[in-house]
Amino acid sequence: MNFKRFGAAAMTLMLLLSVFAAGSAAAATTTLAGDGTDTVSGFTANESNALEYSISSSGTDFSTDGTTQLKMNVTHDGEQYAMTEEAVDSGTSASQIVNISNDELSDLPGDAGETVTVNVTAWGTDGNGTETTTATEFAVDITFDNTYAVASVDDSSAEIEDVEAGYLSSFSFGVLGTEDPADLHTYDTTVGIDGNNTTVTVLDETSNGSDVFTDAVGDDLESGDVITGATVAADGEPILAFYDSADTDIIEDGDTYAVYNSGDNSWTIHTGSAQEGATSMDVLIESQDYTNGDFDSEALTTAFVDKADLGIMDLGSAFGYTSIFTNFDVLSVLGVGMIVPAGGLSLAFLIPAGRKRLGA
């Protein structure tokens, strides 16, 4: 026997089996019994996973019921988060499976590791929408994975301020206020996390939040650009926010940062070493720039000068040139350091710090 050839073939077979197994494990469907004991674990709103339930006809079969459409929805606290509708495959069937992909529940709020109880209702209708297969209603416990958390902000939980024209601000209009300003939206929420293992999504469900933040963020940004027109903070510290995706040349392992998702106007907060061991995180999102917040100059300088590498022209354009003196460490912005001359003189001399900051 050619052991080398046999060994190679065996390794190839094992590799194919492992790939198949990995692919099979990636997709998981939870079959619901509908008796109130159903549970879903490790929930991340993954489109590869689904909830399925077998709807049974009220009579002998669906033709006897007069049912042509089967429906199932998922609600929580009176709000519908997912809905599916499927045509009856065969009128002579007495039951049929319908399913809802887990990504349709991406708006469902919950902390990392939290169990959220939802309500599932399944029923059938005829061509006129009249209920013909009796509705079945039951509870399902969905436990969020420790890597996943969702917070939702609406008009009742957000702080929305009607900004008057002429108000001197740079978050959505010119410094002189020549355009009608948008409302000032402030989202301040606490989310349950599992240290730096959790990624948090903040959904904006306010009536005009999408317009407000589109104005604040700006419509001329490209994927990976640093956002300066809106503010994001974690546990009271300003963090960098990026448009649609993070700039990997800026972000390092252990950094806490945010991404604004322009497609649905949501925000994703990636936890870092600052959250290690924490069970909750305070998230602040505002539709005005960072210099309007209560952040010290060291924190803003670290974020925008040291991390984002913005120069004096960039900072002036983004925040206003006066902010360089009021909100940032001027010496760091200018790329200037201090040394004490040999001999122990009490006077310090300014010398370039060896890092160019003038211009982008």
Convert the pLDDT of each residue in 133-179 to its tens digit: 999 999 999 999 999 999 999 999 999 998 765 444 444 333 434 45
Answer whether 132's CB lies under 8 Å from 66's CB: yes
Same domain, 155 and 214: yes
104 φ, ψ (degrees, to nearest 5): -70, -10
pLDDT recorded at residue 180: 52
Partners of residue 166 on adjacent β-strands:
none
Mean of pLDDT values over 315-333:
94
Say yes or no: 130 and 111 in one domain: yes
Check pLDDT > 50 for residue 230.
yes
Q: Which domain holds residue 140?
A: 29-144
Task: Report how many domains make up the chain.
Answer: 3
Residues 81 and 160 in one domain: no
Question: In this structure, are residues 185 and 212 in contact, taking their beta carbons and an 8 Å threshold?
Answer: yes
248-292 pLDDT, tens digit per residue, is 999 999 999 999 999 999 999 999 999 999 999 999 999 999 999
pTM of the model: 0.82
What is the pLDDT, as a whole number, of residue 145?
98
**196-213 burial, b if ≥16 CB within 10 A, otherwise e?**
bebbbbbbbbbeebeebb
- ∠ CA(258), CA(264), CA(268), 5° rounding? 20
Cβ contact 291:240 at 8 Å:
no
Q: What is the pLDDT of residue 15?
A: 45
Tokens 């070493």 sit on residue: 273
133 plus 218 within the same structural domain: no
